[in-house]
Structure 1
Amino acid sequence: MKLVPQGLKVFKQKSIFVKMLFVFNLFILIAILAFGYVSYTQSSSLLVEEVVKSNYKYVEQARDNIDETLTSLDNLSYQVSLQSQIRRALYLSETTWDQDQLLFLDIIKYLKSVKLSNTLISDIWIQFYRYPIVINQESKYNLNYFYDDIYKTDKSSGWEHPSPTHHGLNPIGRFQATTYGVSSSVITFERTVPLSEIKPMGGLYLNIKTDDFANRVQGASDPYPAFIYALDNNGEVVFNSKIRSDQDGLISSVKGAITEKVRGIGAREGYLEQTIAGHSYQILFTSSKVNDWTYISVVPTAFITEKANAIRQFTFVTAIICLIGGLIMSYFLINRIYSPISKIIGYINVLGRTPSNQNRTAKEDELGFIDRIINYVYYENESLRGSFEKNLPAFRQKFLYDLIEGRVSSANVQELAKEIQLDFSYDSFQVIVFETVDFSLEDKIGLHNRDILEIVDGRIAQLEDAHINVRSIRKRNDKIISLLNLDHPNPKPEVIHDFISKVISYFKQEHSRTFTVGIGNIYSSVEEVPLSYVEALSALQYKIVKGEGSVIFVDEVGKMPESSFSYSIEAEKHIINCVKTGNRLALQQHLHKLWGENLKQGDVTPEIITYLFQALVGTAIRTIYEVQSTTAEIFSDSIDLYREVNQQPRLEDKKEYIERMFQSISDWIHNKKQGQDNTLFNQIKDYVENNYHLDLSLTILGENIGLSPSYLSSIFKEVTGMNFVDYINTRRVEQAKIRLRQTQDTVVDISEQVGFTNSNTFIRVFKRHEGVTPGQFRQMYVKEDSK
């Protein structure tokens, strides 16, 4: 307790103790107050904003789930409408509809298979407009019997008023339907069929249970207490998520009021906060992308503010605790810091060795006084010696760099080495370069993070009677350069081998690190040290031949045989053809054969590898030229293929790059061919559209679109999906159907108008496509118009 009055006393003497205590406490107070204020005042609004953002994503996800389901049902209904048996049944008249029972049996089987394959569909049926029949997945029924006894709804579904115009799959409402005595809530969808006719001839109906739609939005709303429901264009609720709690029940009871507010805005999507029946709600809504439904998500505001209040209380209590604790800790911390300062001042005063008070200022505190004393002692007594000792390792490194790079002469080498405490006891020199494999010299080595240069130099001490001094330096982050000072009159090559082996073994066993080693020759003068260094670097270049992790002597490299690589014009043609045709397997076989012929162990040199891979890049560029493209179009403007392959560090990397390069060219050629096929299809379609009534042949078509008949014949089915005759006949039959409905021309005249030279051929082709003769087709429309 004596510290407080002592602190007040020294404060009058401009003590640093009270200043530091005041600054620390002020900082703690400001930080806690600022954090507490922001957290206390902004927690509610931030939580509301975050929940609204997150809930908007969930309602969009729910909408997208339903839209995806509706799109899938639309595609399915479209496929059903195209089914041949259904189309045939639609054309039956009132007098003939009950004469082909097998046809209806096939339709029943088909509808049952559709329902079984899509579990989302609870009911599916077809209502025929031309005769009073309904067919569902179970049987064929009389129209009135079906809607009175088999399928009953709580309100009119509008089946008694057939649609006069065509439309796709549209929702016609939510019903409480009873099918075969089983009641369920369903949403009914209708599609008019067939689309090929001017007026609908029937309706395809699908029932989806509202619970299935609810399940598809439930997953999206689980993370938040959101209640989601959907409205149709009339403001009626189509479906809603399941009631999971009393809270959801309360929201469900005010759906009408919420719906009225949302529809009053008149926007496709938006957000509003609304109070209804004394409760506040956060309301989000968005519109479907495939129909006129609106999806509404409701979150009670009370849920958010309840959490905000808890955060506020927690923030207030935490701020008070942190403030009190911070004040106490800052006091003891500052006292702990000040204690050694006070002792230093006391020791200086006891010694009585203080500098002159000439430069002392009135505002000087304890730290200023100590700083002045240290500056005095440093500059007056130990400045030069301390600076030298501090920079001695850097001086040694600089000297060794200059030595291997030829900037030190033999006349002053001993003098300089003695000044920086380097011992060159012997008269010969040799350079060894250790290059890292898959690691950096900046990596931590071992638990104690020992200096890697000390480890390398220390291996020589393990050799008996070595007569060698070793000094090592770093070169970038991947090379250690070791300068060996040797006893030339008594050279011991095995000692150098032992030194290298111990370095490699130590790093491999203790740290799982690997080096590639390049070794220069031994020289007897300082001026020749750079030659040994260059030779060691030259030996390292052969790592691409001998492999990383090898020990390579420059003398061994100089004895390698000179040879050239084998790459014939025929082999190049094979590779180009494989790339153009996309034959990846054959391309790999040719490349692997090339590797085997040129990259044999013991005969290969870096020059052979460089020339071989540059030749393969030339083949790639030649292939690009032959397909009338450029490297910039296939790769990018910044890619230089020659540079890229040269930068691959290992032989396997170069091989993989070459294979990827050829595959990229092959993929580009394939994609370009697909685009050309689309263009060709549009040319064929446009020409046939304008000339179907003429005598057409592949020869005539080829002349008009600029292709030979033989080539056009070989690719016609690949491009259009059918052969030439079927493609022309399909277009002619479609035109004939229009003339049969809209004109009184004879069948013979119409056959000539659409391009058939023989009316019998026309009748046969028409019946194969439509299932009826042209005359029967016209009669069906005459009877329909007379109704």
Structure 2
Amino acid sequence: MNRWLRSYALVLLIPIVMMLVVYFQTKQVIEDEINRANTALLSQLQQDIDGHIDYTYRLSEMIAFNPKIRQLMRTPENLEAEDRITMVQALTDFKVYNNTNRYVDHFYVYFRTGGFVLTETSYYDTPMYYDLMLSSSGLALEEWKRFLEQKYRGQFFNMQEVEGQAAAGILFAQSLPIDERNTPLATLVIELNEERLLSAIQNIQSYNQGKVYIVDGSNQILASSEKKKQGPRSFDQLNGDLGVVHSRWDNENVVISYIQSNRTNWKYVYVLPSRLYSEKAEYVRNLTLLTLFIALLIGTVLAVLLARRNYYPLRQLVRALAERSKLDPHSALNEYDYIEEAIENTMDRNNEMNQMLEKQKNVLRSSLFVRLLKGRIQHDFPVQQVMSEYKVAFRSEDFTVLLFYLEDFSGFFRQDETDAEKKREFVRLIVSNIVEELTCQQHQGWMVEIDEMLACIVNFKSGTGPEDAKQDLVRIAEEAQRFIGTRFHIYFTAAVSTLHRSVAELPAAYQEALEAMEYKMLLGTQTIIFYDQIKNQGMSYVYPMEKEQQLINYVKAGEFDQAKGVLDEVIHFNLSEVNLSIEMVRCLMFDMISTMMKAAIEVNLGQSELYEENMKAIQDLMNGVTVSAMKDRMTVFLRKVCGHVESKKKSHNFRLKEDILDFINDQYRDHNLSVNTISERFGIHPSYLSRYFKEQVGDTLTDYLNKLRVEKSKLLLLNDEIFIKDICDLVGFYSISTFIRLFKKYEGVTPSSYRESSKY
């Protein structure tokens, strides 16, 4: 229930905050409106007084350029009749000037040379004007004359500061003539009408009960509506042409609004106590507080009532859940957490059950597919009906089996992950999901695990022809190899069966894929093998005795390059020219391994080393290692044997061997050439020669000599004009029978048969 109360309190807080925001905004608006009104009044005052100041400037110019005044400025101290007539004419002009503006109260011109004062009404000498006009102000005559004799260029002054009067007013002083740069000849003084000037100021004062000031450019007060000066007044903070600043005067906070004249550098200032702002906003504040109090009271009562009303169903729901659930209601922070925990607990149990059912369903479906692939389904078994229970519906009667053998996935896992079964299961899941997704783009596909491999049963959509089906299978297999290999570093070999026309033929399709997969030994790993490629295979290989003997001879002689050439030639011919079955390929590999073992035994390679290499080669063949890998292994073994033979040859006098071989090659035609004749020729014992020759060459000296004579006879047999008996004599044999027997021993055929076969 506390949560309900907090929720309602939060809802109630929103209008309260909004009302406070409205109050402060309203207060700000009131202050802005007051400041805007004050600024408008000051602007009006500024425009009004600026107009009169403009008139003051024009009046000073009219007097300064009046020809009578300019003439009087140059009169001597003693006035003559003509000067007095000029003076009367000037007074007439003054009367006209003074009637045009009501703000000019009085003006006069002090003539320094004549020592007299000319006003708008009369003529006075200097002492007389002082006695009549200024003696009561407390200003001394000499001080007044000193003020008049200074040089001015249209300046305004406060009358209280200049004349010492108690009344407020503004003086305007201008030295004459205006264009004179030397000592002035006269001084014009214009007194602005104090009452009329202050009447405009009092209009603003009466509007808001504030005080109005006129301040010059040096922040000195020229005029003020303040009757009694209370304390120092500072206007230094008034910067700019227009603005509002806050200050403190006479222990009271004030708001100062000001505007600067466009005609002069005067500022018109209006000072209003800050409390007047508060008085205008106090009503809004009181109304806001009253509204807040009422809203809090009503909101609190409604919050309690509604919380109790809404909490009752929640309490009943918690009690019902507590009766049916094993969870303790007091274990949760609140009722909602308890309900959420109870629902999550129920959902978790439900998800576990669904996952278990789904897993069991997948296992049963996979088991059914495996039985289909292995042909363990009875003919009367309702395949379609059972498959529909697993949400499997065949689109057509066209099926193909794709078989995947995982070659390498070590690059997908970290080195510290050692659970092999878990890694393999994860890899199978990745491959299955991706292959099924690629297959289902156009057709249907279901992945199952069978015989340590993954099989995909592809069901083509209706109307798919054999060529289109094969193209789609190529696309699926290639895209799977590319994406899975690039993205996950998982590499596999794929085998594809032919297209079959019913579910009953799935076992045949699976067998075809198995047979095609066996050919990864021949075609290499990480390839795509189609059953069409291997279904017509040859059942015999070509490995003639001649090539076998050549391989043995080269090995015994330690000639690795020639021996490897024979090995490559036999393998290349059988794999490219003869389309062998995989069984025949294994037989060929076994045969060639046995040949190399014979050669190794004849050169006396260690028996333990032979046995180890033989067992490795046989194990590789049984495990389905590729032909390329077997060829590399045999090449390594061949290099080892040839290297052993070569090292034995180099253990004795290599030059002696070369000399003996050269001698035999030159004298092989001699019928008497034998071990004894050769040993006599080189001065060594016959038994040592036989042992030395066998060790260096790999054959006995007699075998080597007979093989050389047979090789030379093969060249002569190509010429039909030479008789076989003559060839026997030419190559050094004693008799024709010996020649035929040895030729058949080394070449497998008689000399005459060899001659006949060479013609074709």
Please give the TM-score of this superposition, normalised by the length of structure 2.
0.36
